[in-house]
Amino acid sequence: MPHLDNDRRTGQNLAVLAEALYIANLLLIPVIGFAILCYLFLTQYKQAPPLARSHLEQTLSASLWIAVLFTVFAAGILLLKNFGMEAVSMWIIIILVFTMLHASMVLLGVLGLAKAMAGKCWRYPLVGKTLPDNCSRYDKV
Amino acid sequence: MQYQSQAVAKPYFIAAIGLFVGQILFGLIMGLQYVIGDFLFPEIPFNVARMVHTNLLIVWILFGFMGAAYYLVPEESECELYSPKLALLMFWVFLIAGALTILGYLLVPYATLAEMTGNSLLPTMGREFLEQPTITKIGIVIVALAFLFNLGMTMLKGRKTVITLVLFIGLVGLAVFFLFSFFNPDNLVRDKLYWWFVVHLWVEGVWELILGAILAFVLIKTTGVDREVIEKWLYVIIALALITGIIGTGHHFFWIGLPGYWQWWGSIFSALEPLPFFMMTVFAFNMVNQRRRNHPNQAAVLWALGTSVMAFLGAGVWGFMHTLAPVNYYTHGTQITAAHGHMAFYGAYAMIVLTIISYAMPMLRGRKAANSGKSQILEMWSFWLMTVSMVFITLFLTAAGVLQVYTQRYTDNPQPFMAVQERLELFYWMREAAGVVFLIGLIIYIISFFAGSNEPEQA
């Protein structure tokens, strides 16, 4: 089974799984998706090939940053509420900012998933860790 | 261009772009009428501007689909089109019928138009998006039949591929569901039910098949990825589109007098409707990542990727935003619907037509594969200007919609409709400004066809 051997060598399946869990956490199973991703990171990271390692790192780091972003956003809203902001203005901000943030994060996940499926590394803009040098060696051209 | 008869696509594409310009101009007029109520009144009243804006949209998209099919089917079937003459004849019939209809809207009061065109013999006029006189609707059916006959005969004599099959099923569906526009029952509930059979089952049903087929064709050509891989993706996407989209029609049945169970069916299935668009985005980016060559027409690749992203945002995300019955109870028919409509139509259907035009037009104009670098740079500028301004139009309309829902529906002391409209004025102005940027993008798009036409192709 050369195909399976190749997957094991490059860690492509694990990379795809990491990206899928990142998206699932945002769309279908919030928190649970993140918990499984953490479990995967803790159990697989050390022995994983560079491609899978990179995707595990990227998705975990991006998920954590998303949690921080949403917490800061929620705190900002509470602060505005305490300063007496009109309820309707608050709802406009909540719906627009949440939709834009959430949709952008999902789209970045889609890009990451597409890269993983193509056996390539991918760095989440701003929130992703710098890619290791040895990652690109496993890219299929 | 591999087959001579593919050339019939060119007039369809030119007409599509011309009508697109008309649609945007009337959109801007109407956008201004939201804030300056008597702008161009009585020459172009708001209801007429709106009718022209939406009807031009449908007609130019249909021209685009037809052009796409006439370009794509001979190449996929590996044979000449069954009858290029019939295709050209139908082009002129459709264009003249369309132009006369728009002139009718603009020059004659709607009721007089109905009288002049014999609407009383078979009443079909007066419904949103389907305002065309009955005689125009009959003309559309004739054009559609001739079009399907021409394509069907071409496919029968040539190679059968998944792309042509999916495209053909989508186009047959488009024609079949249009027939519900002739059914105009007196009962308002049934009237609305059948009206949605046209409107919803077009845009959230069979049109998605056409979109998927065109996208798959362009991706095969520009990435060099195996046809088998792309076809498997296409199967999954169209299956998801039909599974979610058909019963998803129920989200239009919440408040029109149909049984309450539609609130469950409609909510559940339409909540799943973003799935095919999500898959389409993964599909497009995955194919481009696995490409075996760099196609010289980078503008077409950009349009293809942009289509998948914008369709996901407009149809998927903004559709989901107000599709669950408890939310839709407050939001239906507000500016939130308008926000979703704008981004979904642009992202899914306007952009896929622009994708195939971008891919095919260089060959139709005698080039080998792509336009010059200068032309492509301009086209990419137009892509970004139109797309970013559409994002802003959507955001401003969403903001207006939230304010509208809150002050007119959600509150204990709802304000009257016109009082709320006044409060939305700032958002309407911002939407109009974004619309002007969109028009600038469109003008640059048209200029890109003429710029650098004497320069060599992009390598």
Task: Report whether B395 contacts A104 (CB < 8 A).
Answer: no
Query: What is the per-residue pLDDT across B208-244, written as a single tens digit (0 to 9) for each?
Result: 999 999 999 999 999 999 999 999 999 999 999 999 9
Q: Tell me the C-alpha distance between B92 and B98, whole Å.
A: 10
What DSSP element (H or E) covers B43? none
Dihedral class, residue B142 (left if φ above 0, else alpha if ψ from -120 to 50, else beta):
alpha
What ipTM, to 2 d.p.? 0.86
* CA angle centred on B186, ends B182 and B192, rounded to 5°: 65
Q: Is B403 on the interface with A (CB under 8 A)?
A: yes
Q: Tell me the C-alpha distance between B444 and B442, whole Å.
A: 5
Q: Is B285 on the interface with A (CB under 8 A)?
A: yes
Instruction: Please name the residue ranges forming H helices in B248-346.
Output: 261-271, 274-289, 298-311, 318-321, 325-331, 335-344
> Are B282 and A110 an interchain contact pair (Cβ–Cβ within 8 Å)?
yes
| Segment B272-282 mean pLDDT | 96
**pLDDT at residue A136 tops 80:** no
Q: Tell me the C-alpha distance between B413 and B409, whole Å.
A: 9
From B286, B309, B398, residue closest to A117, measured CB to CB: B286
Q: Tell me the C-alpha distance between A19 and A37, whole Å.
A: 9
* Secondary structure letter of residue B187 according to DSSP: S
CA A38 to chain B, closest CA, distance in angstroms equals: 24
* CA angle centred on B423, ends B421 and B429, rounded to 5°: 85
Q: Is B100 on the interface with A (CB under 8 A)?
A: no
Task: Report whether B364 contacts B71 (CB < 8 A).
Answer: yes
pLDDT of residue A141: 36
Residues whose CB is less than 8 angstroms from the CB of residue A27 and which lie 6 or more positions away in sequence, other chains included: A106
> Are A107 and B321 an interchain contact pair (Cβ–Cβ within 8 Å)?
no
Chains A, B: CB contacts within 8 A come to 53
Surface-to-core class of residue B418, CB atoms within 10 Å of its CB (0-12 exposed, 13-18 middle, 19+ buried): exposed
Q: Is A85 on the interface with B (CB under 8 A)?
A: no
On chain A, the residues whose CB falls within 8 A of the CB of B309 are: 107
CA B247 to chain A, closest CA, distance in angstroms equals: 21
Query: What is the per-residue pLDDT across A21-72, written as a single tens digit (0 to 9) for each?
Result: 999 999 999 999 999 999 999 999 999 998 999 999 999 999 999 999 999 9
Query: What is the per-residue pLDDT across A2-35, written as a single tens digit (0 to 9) for each?
Result: 455 565 567 899 999 999 999 999 999 999 999 9
Tell me what percent of the residues of chain B surpass a pLDDT of 70: 100
On chain A, the residues whose CB falls within 8 A of the CB of B403 are: 88, 92
Q: Tell me the C-alpha distance between A90 and A104, whole Å.
A: 21
DSSP string, chain A: -HHHHHHHHHTHHHHHHHHHHHHHHHHT-TTHHHHHHHHHHHHHTTTS-HHHHHHHHHHHHHHHHHHHHHHHHHHHHHHHHHTT--HHHHHHHHHHHHHHHHHHHHHHHHHHHHHHHTT-----TTTSPPPPGGGGGG---
Query: What is the per-residue pLDDT across B37-76, written as a single tens digit (0 to 9) for each?
Result: 999 999 999 999 999 999 999 999 999 999 999 999 999 9
pLDDT of residue A128: 78
Q: Which of B379, B367, B354, B230 is nearest to B292 (CA)?
A: B230
Query: What is the per-residue pLDDT across A75-104, written as a single tens digit (0 to 9) for each?
Result: 999 998 898 888 899 999 999 999 999 999
> Are A88 and B289 an interchain contact pair (Cβ–Cβ within 8 Å)?
no
| 3-state helix/strand/coil string of B134-177 | HHHHHHHHHHHHHHHHHHHHHHHHCCCCHHHHHHHHHHHHHHHH
pLDDT of residue B458: 76
* Residue owning tokens 């037009």: B361
Q: Is A28 on the interface with B (CB under 8 A)?
A: no
- What are the distances in angstroms from CA B190 to CA B119, B183, B194, B196? 20, 10, 6, 10
Which amino acid is present at B428? Answer: Y
Taking the CA atoms of B301, B306, B309 and B310 in sequence, report the sign of the dihedral they define. Answer: negative
Helix axes B84-107, B134-157, angle to 10 degrees: 160
CA B276 to centroid of chain Cα atoms: 17
Query: What is the per-residue pLDDT across B290-321, written as a single tens digit (0 to 9) for each?
Result: 998 899 999 999 999 999 999 999 999 999 99
Question: Is pTM, for the whole model, over 0.90?
Answer: yes
Q: Tell me the C-alpha distance between B191 and B186, whole Å.
A: 7
> Are B285 and A111 an interchain contact pair (Cβ–Cβ within 8 Å)?
yes
